[in-house]
């Protein structure tokens, strides 16, 4: 969510005080190399350190049973770096079998969006309408799951001394350190199957996070440590390949690819006329070579011509089937839940339950940090690298990749994502390209599938799966929770669709 921040920036021509810990005397400094999660308490943070990552440490505590679903055991904490970055996370145990179930890390996109949105609106154990009420379709029905406010500066994460982040490569190193310290400390998770997941700008984050994990694993092995057992990457409505996403913005508003065409014909004709020039400029300046000034100008031109007309329609950019006024977008991003989440997370009682740093006491919660968003944009993070190449390399190293897309999303739509997966060059690409989209269905409640009520379409070969969820927007677990959970269950088990 919040990829629109990038677009709005191109369409128009925290302050955090120094952190002097008031919790230092409440920290526990264990001498043991490994611990059990059962040893953690609500009263204080336990400080985790590891000699392999001298510039990183982790503070973690058991969260109060009064937070979120009371039947679920959960933890919160911070990843701290010597570079004055502090990254907040939530960890929820699986409802099914926390001792054996896989581990998932979830991140929202932006860049700059808090994963509290994913937690309280989409796939977490509770919804913000009543944060103590269980969400029966939470992904922790099937797995242990992290929600992480990354990069530093997002949500309840913060930085000090003017530190800032502007690249996904920087963010990836913090993720690798955190995961290694966590899995090494809590021995019950060593070697556990691990999956990276997220949506929107996570289409940029996750391929680089996965690559950083695999590239670091040999160093762990050389040090006599357990490598991180990365099994798969799950990207929902991702913004991974700009060059292939741009032309799809025409397809989903001027053809019946998703919903009935709703642009007037003259606008569609102009868009299609402009498109070849847009694509040529992007290829010359952003793909074949990278010229920061020319690439930015090319993207600004494409955004103005191909994205600009959408906003005049006052439709939800995350769900084209629904209206959304300019005021609604500016205040709630078309989702009233986002305001309720912000209000809830601004309550002192909530922050106390979560163990949020007192540094943030007088700072309002932001669902998306637009200063960080702008820093990533100014650094051309999304346009600088060929992100899809990372997916290709992960596939060639045996990592399964699931690209799932709600069919009503505009900004990171299924047409552009299918073009992206079809363009991937990897050892299984010939077989994948032979596949055609077929219907997939979910259980009707009696253990059988219901072909009369298709959940979407899918094509899959070997390690790569592309899947749509019919009638869902940008945030699939919010719009189609039953289908979302069924998808995750099958994916984790390795079942076919």
Question: Model confidence over 98-157: pLDDT tens digits?
Answer: 999 999 999 999 999 999 999 999 999 998 865 557 899 999 999 999 999 999 999 999
Q: How far is CA 95 from the centre of its chain?
A: 22
CA–CA dist 103, 98 (Å, integer): 9
Query: What mean pLDDT do residues 283-307 have?
Result: 94
SS3 456: strand
Active site residue 409: yes
pTM for the full model?
A: 0.92
Q: How much is the mean pLDDT over the chain?
A: 90
Q: For residue 202, how many other CB atoms are within 10 A of its CB?
A: 32
Q: What length is written for the chain? A: 497
Q: Which of 248, 474, 479, 484 is catalytic?
A: 474
CB–CB of 439/452 below 8 Å?
A: no
The burial class, CB within 10 Å (0-12 / 13-18 / 19+), for 394 is: buried
Residues of the chain with pLDDT > 70: what percent?
91
pLDDT band at 9 (very low <50, low <70, confident <90, very high): very low
Q: Which of 57, 94, 200, 357 is catalytic?
A: 200
Query: For residue range 107-116, what is the model confidence (pLDDT) as tens digits?
Result: 999 999 999 9
List Cβ neighbours of 234 (8 Å cut-off, separation of 6 or more): 104, 195, 196, 197, 198, 402, 404, 488, 491
Looking from the CA of 349 toward its CB, the CA atoms found within 13 Å total 4
Among 115-124, 265-274, 379-388, the range scoring the smallest mean pLDDT is 379-388
Q: Please, what are the domains in the chain?
A: 15-242+384-493 (3.40.50.1820)
pLDDT at 312: 86
Q: How far is CA 475 from the centre of its chain?
A: 10
CA–CA dist 75, 196 (Å, integer): 19
Give me the phi and psi of 227, to 5 degrees please.
Answer: -70, 155
């Amino acid at each position: 969510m919040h990829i629109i921040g990038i677009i709005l920036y191109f369409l128009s021509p925290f302050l955090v005080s120094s952190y002097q810990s008031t919790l230092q005397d409440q920290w526990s400094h264990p001498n043991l190399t490994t611990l059990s999660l059962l040893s953690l308490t609500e009263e204080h943070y336990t400080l985790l350190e590891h000699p392999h990552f001298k510039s990183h440490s982790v503070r973690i505590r058991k969260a109060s049973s009064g937070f979120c679903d009371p039947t679920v055991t959960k933890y919160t904490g911070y990843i701290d770096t010597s570079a004055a970055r502090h990254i907040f996370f939530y960890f929820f145990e699986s409802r099914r079998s926390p001792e054996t179930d896989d581990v998932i890390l979830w991140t929202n996109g932006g860049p700059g969006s808090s994963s509290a949105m994913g937690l309280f609106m989409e796939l977490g154990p509770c919804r913000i309408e009543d944060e103590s009420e269980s969400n029966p379709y939470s992904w922790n029905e099937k797995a242990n799951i992290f929600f992480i406010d990354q990069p530093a500066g997002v949500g309840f994460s913060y930085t000090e001394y003017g530190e800032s982040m502007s690249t996904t490569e920087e963010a990836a190193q913090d993720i690798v350190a955190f995961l290694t310290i966590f899995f090494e400390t809590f021995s019950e998770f060593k070697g556990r199957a691990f999956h990276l997941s997220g949506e929107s700008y996570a289409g940029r984050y996750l391929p680089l996070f996965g690559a950083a994990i695999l590239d670091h694993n040999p160093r762990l092995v050389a040090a006599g440590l357990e490598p991180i057992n990365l099994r798969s990457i799950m990207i929902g409505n991702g913004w991974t390949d700009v060059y292939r996403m741009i032309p799809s913005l025409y397809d989903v508003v001027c053809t019946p690819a998703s919903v009935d065409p709703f642009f007037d014909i003259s606008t569609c004709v102009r868009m299609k006329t402009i498109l070849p020039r847009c694509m040529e400029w992007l290829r010359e300046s952003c793909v074949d070579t990278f010229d920061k000034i020319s690439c930015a100008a090319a993207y600004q031109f494409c955004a103005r011509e191909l994205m600009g007309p959408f906003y005049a329609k006052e439709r939800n950019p995350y769900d084209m089937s629904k209206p959304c006024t300019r005021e609604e977008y500016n205040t709630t991003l078309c989702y009233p839940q986002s305001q309720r989440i912000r209000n809830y997370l601004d309550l002192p009682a909530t922050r106390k339950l979560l163990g949020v740093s007192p540094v943030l006491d007088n700072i309002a919660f932001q669902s998306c940090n637009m200063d960080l968003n702008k820093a990533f944009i100014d650094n051309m993070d999304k346009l600088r690298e060929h992100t899809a190449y990372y997916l290709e390399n992960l596939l060639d190293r045996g990592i399964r990749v699931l690209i799932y897309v709600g069919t009503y999303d505009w900004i990171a739509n299924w047409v552009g994502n299918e073009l992206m997966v079809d363009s991937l060059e990897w050892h299984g690409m010939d077989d994948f390209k032979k596949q055609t989209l077929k219907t997939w269905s979910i259980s009707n409640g009696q253990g059988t599938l219901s072909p009369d009520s298709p959940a979407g379409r899918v094509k899959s070969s070997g390690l790569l799966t592309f899947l749509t969820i019919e009638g869902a927007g940008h945030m699939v677990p919010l719009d189609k929770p039953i289908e979302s959970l069924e998808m995750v269950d099958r994916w984790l088990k390795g079942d076919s669709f």
